[in-house]
Structure 1
Amino acid sequence: MKFMRNTLAKIIFVLLLSVFFISGKVETALQNEINELSSDSVLVHGAWGLCVMTADSGKLIAYHNMQQSLIPASTLKILTTGAAIGLLGPAFKYETTIEYDGIYDSINGIIKGNVYLHGAGDPTLNSFRYATGDTISLFESLPFRLAWKGIKKIEGNIIGDASCFADNPIPDGWTWSDIGQYYGAGTCGLSYSDNSVSIYFNSNNEDSCNITHTKPVLEGVTYKSDVTANAQRDEALVYGAPFGNIYYVHGYIPKGKKEFEVKASHPDPAYQCAKDFYDLCGKMISIVGKPTTVRRMEVLNEKVNKNRKILSIIYSSPLSDIIVKTNINSDNTYTEQLLRTLGNVKGSGGTTEAGILVVKKYWKSLGVNLDGLYMTDGSGLSRSNGITPLVQTTILQKISKQKWFPAFLKSLPVAGKSGTMSSLCVGSLAENNMQAKTGYINRARGFAGYVKTKSGKLVCFSLLANNYDCSATVMKKKLERILVAIANLN
């Protein structure tokens, strides 16, 4: 019996050991960090997983719960942006077209019909991420383009056409507390100004913070606020639905601010685009009609003419640059625009669901087993998403073999230097050496990316933690220790 107990104990020990690492392949520092986090009381009610493999051969180096599906938060963006650049190519550019129906009287410079802003899903149109100071924006130059063509009068409406995407802009699984915020701005086929709006408060009176104005000015939209000024930072939340006309603002902002900005999602970006274009054109071109959108016309059963001619085309920056803006800044709106673009260009239509099917099909085509992957959006904002560290690391390994890998790698924040990794791993071997996509939503943190180890070997990794009993900052520090240990591998 004693022999059997000893044998059983040895078997259990070996099995437990295999959960944490591959025997003989993990060095003491990383092994110790894995063991320490595995026994940490803050994860008694939670879960975490790790997978580390070589980029050249895909050989596993270390793992813990690597086949457990965990909430990835924004590390999910790797799947969407990787599939986008893989399927569309680094040089892909969006084309937003300025079109007209009816007749163009070129002699008198009159368009006897409507002018359309026909979107293709470009997330960068008038985006603050492409702001150039006082230089006139690409969008603001459009009226000049029309004037240069000799157009003096438009005898019709200015119509925003966002029909390349489905009207429902919000993916399933996004919460009511997210969709009113700037980071929860939904998609739009005619995305404009990051699909966001700024609400300005005067907080000089601590008991009553008044909304002074919004930028842009929103027609027919009312903001109701019970915001008070007793916070050190922006703790205000905006609640409202897409295409709605009443938004509620609740929470706290710092006191003593004459003009404090709270950013929120825009209820109708396509209309805002049409209205701003209408206002800009009106300064140099006579317009008989009004600004509107295809969606609004369809609601009113008004005829939408699809027989149009192109006046001008706005080209976006190349996709390789767009994914840098997306991943470095962890931009949810950019990512969801890319996902629906994949559905529209490579799938059955401009919906979230079609985009997800395209993304999954692409990774399967590269030989990735997607067991344990659950996608309800492309950005990771939904808590319904799930992925295993093994799946995520395998995808990173496949990416490292693609000819566009350098362009993708450029999009990942650098430890101690840029984006959401700028404050991490400072003073360690990982600083300026590790590049990873970070992820954070309530009770979910993660890191996924690449690092050159002490020996110069490039490795891929995925590190995810959910439902921990500590603050997000404390958990980040605990995971940071594992990141540093990975970088120190020989």
Structure 2
Amino acid sequence: MLRKKCCWWGKIIALGVIIPWLNSGSSVQAESEFVCVSNLEKEVQEIIHRPEWNRSRWGILVRTLDGEETIYNLEGEKYFLPASSLKLLTTAAAIQGLGSDFRIATPVYVTGSAPRLERLVIVGKGDPSLTSDHLRGLARELKQQGINHINELILVDNYFNDSEINPTWEWSDLYFYYAVGVNSLILDENRVILTIIPQEVGETAQLQWSNPNTFKQWRVDNQVLSVTDQDRARISLDGLWAKSELRIEGEISTESQPLVYYLAIANPSNYFLESLSRILLVENIQVSHKTLTSDSVENLGTRFTELLSPPLETLIVKVNQESNNLYAEAIAKILQQESTQTLQEILTELGVESSSYQMADASGLSRHNLVSPEALVQVLTLMAQLSVYRESLPQPGQGTLRHRLADQQLQAKTGYLSGVSSLSGYLTPKDYQPIVFSIMINQSEQSGRALQEAIDEIIILLSRLRRC
């Protein structure tokens, strides 16, 4: 299997690794009897004090949704690594700062007239939802206007003025789709599909890229050998990111199905430029000169059209249900550009205590993030009446809760890094009033399955709450 730690459930599935515990549903079974509120502490302690958790650290805070009663508190004010539960803070601030109807508009300008344009200029605005299909639509629109030649194609990549890569992310993550660069010209989520196909015994496996332009960006050293053993599929990916070197090593059985990996695009802005050039050529629109610039362009020309994203309320579903890191990071950067307040200022104005969290990124991938269960319970409580926010969270059977906690009346954000697991959200017990909760496990050597099942056990306890 891939010798790489995991960051969230989607990574494991997308990398083609079969993890049974993600497909079988939770093994935790709900008991028929209720749990008295007065006995909840004892019941939770029996779970978290099992021998397997001796080296782990738990943070748990449970309150009634009306904020009137704290039902359980274990280090709720202390800092923990939140993993993707951090996205609860990011999306709350985005809704407050931008509004749920906000759309990202990527403007397209032209100079000249059909059949020859002097210039076509696209000014990137960091839209994470832009795909090659959008560019195909633009090319068809140009063709319908009688355009068959563009003298100069200019892409402006200066909307975000900070680093594409968060400096606190781990270098080994940067090759993968969940840690892609966040630039002003995002296309196809800045990721590419690599398929490793076994060949005859003793031969090097074939590498197949979903887009040939991305392959050209890497210096690839393919050391994957085709072998006879059906149980052998040991692949590792690493290299030297700064030099765009990618080393792929290991073995794949000749009887194996091709292995699929979602990788980061090394130079996403250049990928946008090359992809658009190729799409224009398919429509028989010739481009004489191509320019990618971080400088402002004077005399942009006449606005021809704009590429619009879905509304923010749709984008945050991608963030919270699918736990998409790129969307979270891009939205936070857009908020920084479009709002007069910082993300932290917006959260403070909302009512979240500023000392209850420290954000190093917007997605939760960084291990420099520090968040208390108190911070997450606060933001969940404050945003509870906003349906756009609550409905962006997965329920059992959806997104990252697809195989967890069936039949529970639950809306919650998951989080996972190696050694870290979290779940924070809303729960409506059958015989008790609605509650809001945050559960975090840090510093654990246990498997992802064990972490998940322990949290699910606690959720089932909470679902059986009753006043006695």
TM-score range, shorter chain: 0.7 to 0.9
Instruction: Report Cα offsets for 1:368-418 as digits up to 9, x if no partner.
Output: 2132412111111111111111111111101114xxx21111111112x11
Give the counterpart of 1:60 among 66, 70, 76: 70
Matched, 1:477 2:450: no
Cα pair 1:159 1:293 within 8 Å, conserved = yes
Give the counterpart of 1:314 among 289, 295, 307: 307
Determine the C-alpha separation between the residues in 2 that align with 1:28 and 1:252.
Answer: 55
Matched, 1:391 2:396: no
Structure with higher Rg: it is: 1
Q: Give 3-state SS (helix, strand or coil) of 2:134's partner.
A: coil
User: C-alpha displacement at 1:346, in angstroms?
Assistant: 1.5
For the structure 1 residues 52 and 377, does the alpha-carbon distance in structure 2 shift closer, same or farther, using more than 3 Å as the test? same
Gapped regions of structure 2 (runs ≥ 5): 1-34
User: C-alpha displacement at 1:252, in angstroms?
Assistant: 5.7
Give the counterpart of 1:98 among 104, 108, 124: 108
Q: Equivalences for 1:22-421 in 2 at 5 Å?
A: 27=37, 30-57=40-67, 59-100=69-110, 103-104=111-112, 106=113, 108-112=114-118, 114-126=119-131, 137-156=133-152, 158-166=153-161, 168-205=163-200, 208-218=203-213, 219-228=216-225, 235-241=235-241, 244-250=243-249, 255-257=254-256, 259-295=258-294, 305-309=297-301, 310-346=303-339, 358-401=342-385, 405-415=386-396, 417-421=397-401
Q: Give 3-state SS (helix, strand or coil) of 1:227's partner.
A: strand
User: C-alpha displacement at 1:447, in angstroms?
Assistant: 0.2
447-456 or 433-442, larger mean C-alpha shift? 447-456
User: C-alpha displacement at 1:363, in angstroms?
Assistant: 1.1
| 1:17 alignment partner in structure 2 | none
For the structure 1 residues 28 and 277, does the alpha-carbon distance in structure 2 shift closer, same or farther, using more than 3 Å as the test? same
Q: As a proportion of its length, which structure holds more strand?
A: 2
For the structure 1 residues 275 and 409, does the alpha-carbon distance in structure 2 shift closer, same or farther, using more than 3 Å as the test? same
Q: State the AA in 1 paired with 2:151.
A: E
Cα pair 1:178 1:184 within 8 Å, conserved = yes
| 2:404 alignment partner in structure 1 | 424
Q: Give 3-state SS (helix, strand or coil) of 2:371's partner.
A: coil
Determine the C-alpha separation between the residues in 1 that align with 2:269 and 2:108.
Answer: 14
User: C-alpha displacement at 1:192, in angstroms?
Assistant: 0.5
User: C-alpha displacement at 1:463, in angstroms?
Assistant: 0.2
71-80 or 138-147, larger mean C-alpha shift? 138-147
Determine the C-alpha separation between the residues in 1 that align with 2:252 and 2:224.
Answer: 7
User: C-alpha displacement at 1:31, in angstroms?
Assistant: 2.2
Cα pair 2:87 2:320 within 8 Å, conserved = yes
Determine the C-alpha separation between the residues in 2 that align with 1:234 and 1:407.
Answer: 43
Q: State the AA in 1 paired with 2:130.
A: L
Cα pair 1:49 1:465 within 8 Å, conserved = yes
Q: How many residues align?
A: 426
327-336 or 39-48, larger mean C-alpha shift? 39-48
Q: State the AA in 2 paired with 1:164.
A: Y
User: C-alpha displacement at 1:291, in angstroms?
Assistant: 3.7
Cα pair 2:197 2:258 within 8 Å, conserved = yes
User: C-alpha displacement at 1:468, in angstroms?
Assistant: 1.8
Instruction: Report Cα offsets for 1:311-361 as digits up to 9, x if no partner.
Output: 1111111111111122111111111111111111125xxxxxxxxx82211
114-123 or 64-73, larger mean C-alpha shift? 114-123
Higher relative contact order (CA 8 A, sep 6+): 2
Determine the C-alpha separation between the residues in 1 that align with 2:60 and 2:99.
Answer: 30
Matched, 1:436 2:406: no
Cα pair 2:147 2:285 within 8 Å, conserved = no
CA RMSD of aligned residues (A): 2.5
For the structure 1 residues 455 and 176, does the alpha-carbon distance in structure 2 shift closer, same or farther, using more than 3 Å as the test? same
Cα pair 1:434 1:487 within 8 Å, conserved = no
User: C-alpha displacement at 1:464, in angstroms?
Assistant: 0.2
Q: Equivalences for 1:4-23 in 2 at 5 Å?
A: none
Determine the C-alpha separation between the residues in 2 that align with 1:237 and 1:48.
Answer: 33
User: C-alpha displacement at 1:270, in angstroms?
Assistant: 1.9
Identity of aligned residues (%): 24
User: C-alpha displacement at 1:58, in angstroms?
Assistant: 5.1
For the structure 1 residues 420 and 249, does the alpha-carbon distance in structure 2 shift closer, same or farther, using more than 3 Å as the test? same
Cα pair 1:151 1:285 within 8 Å, conserved = no
User: C-alpha displacement at 1:205, in angstroms?
Assistant: 4.3
Determine the C-alpha separation between the residues in 1 that align with 2:266 and 2:445.
Answer: 36
307-316 or 25-34, larger mean C-alpha shift? 25-34
For the structure 1 residues 440 and 155, does the alpha-carbon distance in structure 2 shift closer, same or farther, using more than 3 Å as the test? same
Q: Give 3-state SS (helix, strand or coil) of 1:138's partner.
A: helix
| 1:466 alignment partner in structure 2 | 442
Cα pair 1:202 1:209 within 8 Å, conserved = no
TM-score between both structures, scaled by the size of structure 2: 0.84
Cα pair 2:199 2:205 within 8 Å, conserved = no
Q: State the AA in 2 paired with 1:450.
A: Y
Q: State the AA in 2 paired with 1:145.
A: E
User: C-alpha displacement at 1:220, in angstroms?
Assistant: 4.5
User: C-alpha displacement at 1:455, in angstroms?
Assistant: 3.1
